[in-house]
Structure 1
């Protein structure tokens, strides 16, 4: 089934199903990742973000939230550095291409060598260990219990994530540091997943907002990739001016889109989603 709650199921049943599906697919992708470990790492980390978003949505009703969220976070984090290294080179090539720059072959060769030297970890072993952790998560999810059902089980997590996303925009506008923009990106991604999870209640409206949230996260992701690239090159790199210009472009577009996405007050946003949910439940009876 899709990554969303379904009509007729309790929130507890839906949570178990959603997490088991995502964790099961992540384990399968990890075990099938020998031919292309980097693609597998990218895919399973996306699954982990979806799982953590689902957990965050029910955080106010789920006694085991903190433990399970940390378990998924740590499993994904172990693969993070394996994912980041190839992205640096991809970002280098993309910047040269997008800005029509003259490539510095010697500098690129040094970057390739530096990345190759640092990639001593075994991605296959890491993926196998990750798959085992996902199997354990699926098994634990069968016993999960929530304290509430219906929209009230989701409301706290939905509103809190929206509020934090909105606040993160304001912080990033005042101080557009690498850390602030990266934190904003993570929250925007969670918010987008939350919209997708409740989208059956008002698909035309909520899926459009989810697309906007995903677009925002993608913009901020490209900004983060440029920061990683900058940290991998010498300070006097010929790409420095182009990196700064591209980051400013991404910031401007992110601030515009983020402002549109979170223009509503958090309590008004939660009330609107509650009304969608109530109408949807009534229609399905």
Structure 2
């Protein structure tokens, strides 16, 4: 993630600068010939849109509900323009990972029907993507966003101004974890993953202010998101097979792939729940108190630094 607050930079100015830089980064990705690295570009675009939505959740209470909804819906809708292709690519990568792991143990051709189906379906999505000039549309929308006059301002001087937003995201992730652990339903696991991602991006943003303090939590949330993402991709493949969208010539191959997926999902969920409880081990109020302590410590360091600078100038 490229977002980074400059050392001793005002929080509000830093957040606004980070937002502008991410918008500009997404816009520049679509210049020239985006077809050269289409799937890498799509992946990065979707990631940026999610990061921006997480940041706006962090400053939600400060910019106001109306402005938050406008920004959130804007980047949500842009993300939807590339989500289907990215989801299909993620599934392809998951199948390739299975083939790499089990290719020697089992004949690698058992995964071929899955790969062929995903590639065929993704190509149809790509054809529509090009036909509808989605890259041009995205670039135009981002260009307008860079040029428009903001309807909101930001002036965060105290942690209490972002605490409710951060607490809300953490609490929703904790609740989603509890629900998913009880139900173990695919839709609940997917909902939990979305909550994990929002918290991860918010913690990553704050980690740019306090390097080395929150980085370990961001890493844990990143790993957790990956585990849940892999499980979600496997659930998609599982449904494709059960709906007979993927055709296996040999029923033995089909049974083997289904068994592998069921085993893998069981392992992914087991590890995700363990890691999830490590990430969400605190009550929301305790979690916020801990982050507040980092904020206070940072403010003191900056204040001491400014005092030393002033004394040196006077000397």
Report the Cα distance in structure 2 between the residues aligned to 1:4 and 1:230, rounded to whole angstroms. 39
Report the Cα distance in structure 2 between the residues aligned to 1:246 and 1:208, rounded to whole angstroms. 26
Q: Residue 90 of structure 1: CA displacement?
A: 2.6
Which position in structure 2 is the counterpart of 1:209? 217
User: Are residue 104 (structure 1) and residue 84 (structure 2) matched?
Assistant: no
Which position in structure 2 is the counterpart of 1:121? 128
Which position in structure 1 is the counterpart of 2:251? none
Which position in structure 2 is the counterpart of 1:31? 31
Q: Is the 8 A contact 2:59 2:165 kept in 1?
A: yes
What SS is found at the alignment partner of 1:198?
Answer: helix
Unaligned runs of 5+ in 1: none
Which position in structure 1 is the counterpart of 2:61? 60
Q: Is the 8 A contact 1:41 1:83 kept in 2?
A: yes
Q: Is the 8 A contact 2:203 2:217 kept in 1?
A: yes
**Pairing 1:42-191 to 2, within 5 Å after superposition:** 42-63=43-64, 64-99=67-102, 100-102=105-107, 103-104=109-110, 107-108=113-114, 111=117, 112-117=119-124, 119-123=126-130, 125-140=133-148, 142=150, 144-146=152-154, 148-191=156-199
- Say how many residue pairs are matched: 285
CA offsets per residue over residues 124-150 of structure 1, 9 Å max, x none? 821221122222233347553136533
Q: Residue 282 of structure 1: CA displacement?
A: 1.4
- Return closer, same or farther for 1:273/1:210 CA change in 2, 3 Å cut-off: same
- Return closer, same or farther for 1:130/1:217 CA change in 2, 3 Å cut-off: same
Report the Cα distance in structure 2 between the residues aligned to 1:206 and 1:80, rounded to whole angstroms. 29
Which position in structure 2 is the counterpart of 1:193? 201
| Rg larger in structure | 2
- Return closer, same or farther for 1:18/1:107 CA change in 2, 3 Å cut-off: same
Q: Is the 8 A contact 2:221 2:279 kept in 1?
A: yes
Q: Is the 8 A contact 2:30 2:135 kept in 1?
A: yes
Which position in structure 2 is the counterpart of 1:240? 258
Q: Is the 8 A contact 1:201 1:279 kept in 2?
A: no
Report the Cα distance in structure 1 between the residues aligned to 2:263 and 2:25, rounded to whole angstroms. 39
Name the stretch that deviates more: 254-263 or 155-164: 155-164
Q: TM-score, normalised by structure 1?
A: 0.90
Unaligned runs of 5+ in 2: 245-253, 304-315
